[in-house]
Structures are given as C-alpha cells and as structure tokens.
Amino acid sequence: MYPKIKTSLPGPIARKIIQKDEKYMSPSYTRDYPFVMDHGKGCFVTDVDGNVFLDFAAGIAVCATGHSHPNVVKAIRDQAGRFLHMSGTDFYYDIQVRLAEELSKALPLKGRKRVFFTNSGAEAIEAAMKLARYHTMRHQFIAFFNAFHGRTLGALSLTGSKIIQKKGFYPLVPGVVHVPYAYCYRCPYNLKYDSCCLYCLKYIEDMLFLKTVDPDDVAAIFVEPIQGEGGYVVPPVEFMVGLRRICDRYGILLVCDEVQSGMGRTGRMFAVEHFGVEPDIVCLAKGIASGMPLGAIIASAEVMTWQYGSHASTFGGNPVSCAAALATVDLLNKKLMKNAEKMGAYIKKRLTSFIDKYQCVGDVRGIGLMIGVEIIKNKKSMEMAPDIRNRIINQCFKNGLLILGCGPNTIRIAPPLIVNKKEADIAIDILEKVIARERR
C-alpha cells in the first residue's frame, strides 16, 4: 500500500464535515491540518474522500498495534458480546484482574504491585497525585518545565508546557513547583553536557530545597522519562538516576508519567527501564489499549496504601478496554516491542543523516519509535523555527504523511509499533522531500 492523494485537501466531503465541526464542536481543539478520518488499517488511514495517508502520528502515540489490529478487534468484539460494563468499583470481573496481573508482571519493580484503572492519562495523573499525597501525608509536588501531564486541574498544575493550556484556568491545585528538565540541546542554564555536572539536579537540592521548598513537604517528583508534548526530549541516564537518589534521600516518591513513552513505544514496556531506575508509581494510558479509552497507575503494594472508599471510578477499567489492552500487551510482548526497537533505530539513523544535509534540522533524538526532529532557522543561531516546522508538517500532509509537532519547533515521529521498513522508507522519503524544499 502507498499514500495516494486524489482530491484537493480537504476534499469535498471532508470540507462539509469540517464546516459542521466548526459550528458544533468546542473551539478549544488543536487541529493542525484538515484530515477527516474514514477508516484505517495497520499504518495507513483513508480519509472520507478516499485519500490514503501513512499515519506516523498514530492518534498521538495511541494506536500502538496499528489501526484496527485483527487481534484487538476480535478481543473487543468477544468482550462486547459478553458484557459492556459492570463497574469495577463495585463488582469484580476476571478480565480486569488479568490485566492488572499482566501490567504488574511487566513493571520491573521489586515486590508485589497493585493497579488502579482510569479512563485517560490525565485521570491516571490525578490518581497518582492523590495516592502520593495520601501515602506520604505531604502536600508538595515537583514537576518540570516543558512537561505535559494533562489538562484536568490537578494534572494541569503539573503541566509546564504551554501557557495557553493554563491561561484563564487559575487558580490551579496549589503546591506545585516547576524546575528545569535536562534538555541538553537547549540547556536552560546555558551549560554543556557533561561538563555541567547535571546542574539541573543540583538546583533541586542546592537552591529549591534550601531556599523555598522544604523537602520534607514534598510528596512526589513527577517526571516523564522522555518528555513528549514538550519536544520528545531524552535526558541523560544520570538525570533519572539522580532524581531517584534525591527521592530516596528525602523520602519523596518518584512518579514516572509513561502515558506517552510507555507500552512498548521505546522498545521496552516502560521508557524508565532504559535508565535502570525503579519508579514508585507509573502512570499509563494512550497505547495501553490500542485506542480504547483506558489509563492506569501501577505502584508497589507498600505505596498503594489508600483505604477502602478513598478513590474509585465508574468507568475506569472498562471490560471492553481491558480486553483490548490484554490483546495489546500480548502483541507487544510477542513482537512489537522488538520491532519498535529495530525500526526505531533504523528511522533514527536515517533522520540523523538530515542534520548534516539540511540547515533547518538541528537535532534528532529519541528511543525506539519516539523520535523528535528539532527544526531550527540555521545551525549557527540554533533559533527555534516553529513556522518552518509547521510548514513541513502541512506539506507532509499534502504528500500523504500524517505527522504532528511537539514543543515549539519539533516534529514528532510516533508511528504504530507494527511499522515495517518499507513504510518507514516511504515516510522518511516524503519528509526528506519536504525538508529539502526548505533549504534556504
């Protein structure tokens, strides 16, 4: 299969749907270009006018097993025929417990683990915030600039990505302080890795804890092991190791937000595994159920100590979503994680060659199939170029490739984990053709 554009974009049917959308839908959504989905199969999607696109956005890193994987669809159909809902808050059902067992086994954390199910990533973050406060009986949180943890009020308080996401919504949940992340390509302290001696870590202990925040008040540090929405930023291993050390020193919980980086996308079930660090709580959503709404937190049994009635959700852990998640985990374990590692390395290598070839490609970074391409004005100034980035994304769309941005000026490459070499080559060829036109 190949991308095939046969109408102007948007086509006539898409235009009608978009017109209606503009009339009835909330104006808060962020549509970068006018793609109107009709159906999808694997890595390809077809719009309502019959145009075929290669999907390297995967519904923002959600469709881990591709669009409508037959195993996932079968699991959903089978479960839907048995029962659609039975509120895991009040009753028991096997499929939910089986998924909790699978997720517990997958997380390399010593001792017994427990799982709490939610409907979304933001809800998983809310649950982790509540659990961290409850378990430690402390109120303060530390989060990072450029972090994205969601848009509900608690999660939004931790988010430090774009001011538009917060503007007009204050006051947020009190007790959150943001500190710089290890974004070494653009060090917030203007230092160079590794002569910086990880000053971003030192700042937490030598400035924050001595001047404004008593570490004994801190319940948790929330961190994305690889920042997603903030720009697909991979920190050095010592950064995550150092955060663990700080947490251990002051009795703080380390909460890893793996909503985007988890579920096999980086070639391991959880991105934090690449850093050899054990988190106290892991938050999941997005890829967990291949597109069905589901989120979860996993914590060690010693941390998940909240009592009967203290937290619950009517829909969290919906049986149909759990069935989709079990089928997803099975596919990840059997071959997709390995494929993510292999294809990720291949795609990253090809994209990295763009740095020498094209003035506007500043940095290529990522692990597995979570790859960011940072677009700049030129190598000398390294000035961010959001306008060029946006133009590239739009031109890719016109050439049959769906990609999304992240951060102010980065392109995110997040295809389904089933992507093969031929599809990868088609996508990178389109991207290269478009980037080459920006050579000025």
Ligand X SMILES: Cc1ncc(COP(=O)(O)O)c(C=O)c1O
Q: Where are the beta strands (DSSP E) in 258-334?
A: 281-284, 295-300
* Contacting residue, 142, 156, 259, 393, with ligand X by CB under 6 A: 259
* Interface with ligand X, residue 45, by CB under 6 A: no
- In the bound state with ligand X, the residue whose beta carbon lies nearer, of 56 and 354, is 56
- In the bound state with ligand X, the residue whose beta carbon lies nearer, of 135 and 149, is 149
* Interface with ligand X, residue 229, by CB under 6 A: yes
**Residue 362, amino acid:** G
Element (H, E) at 218: strand 218-223
* Interface with ligand X, residue 55, by CB under 6 A: no
**Residue 68, amino acid:** S
* Per-residue contact flags (x/-) with ligand X for residues 103 to 142, judged by CB under 6 A: -----------------xxx--x-----------------
Q: Which two tokens stand for residue 117?
A: 């199910």
Shortest separation between residue 6's beta carbon and ligand X, angstroms = 32
Shortest separation between residue 406's beta carbon and ligand X, angstroms = 9
Shortest separation between residue 413's beta carbon and ligand X, angstroms = 15
For residue 37, the SS3 value is strand
C-alpha count within 13 angstroms, C-beta hemisphere, residue 69? 29
398 phi and psi angles, rounded to 5 deg:
-65, -20
* Interface with ligand X, residue 225, by CB under 6 A: no
Distance from C-alpha of 300 to C-alpha of 291, rounded to nearest angstrom: 27
* Contacting residue, 260, 266, 313, 321, with ligand X by CB under 6 A: 260
* Contacting residue, 47, 49, 126, 224, with ligand X by CB under 6 A: 224
Distance from C-alpha of 114 to C-alpha of 296, rounded to nearest angstrom: 10
372 phi and psi angles, rounded to 5 deg:
-110, 140
Among 31-39, 63-71, 167-175, 221-229, the segment contacting ligand X (CB under 6 A): 221-229
292 to 351, contacts with ligand X by CB under 6 A?
none
* Interface with ligand X, residue 290, by CB under 6 A: no
* Interface with ligand X, residue 367, by CB under 6 A: no
Sign of the Cα pseudo-torsion (298, 303, 304, 310, in order): negative
Q: Is 190 exposed, middle or buried (0-12, 13-18, 19+ CB in 10 A)?
A: exposed
Chain contacts with ligand X (rule: CB under 6 A): 60, 120-122, 125, 148-150, 224, 228-229, 257, 259-260, 285
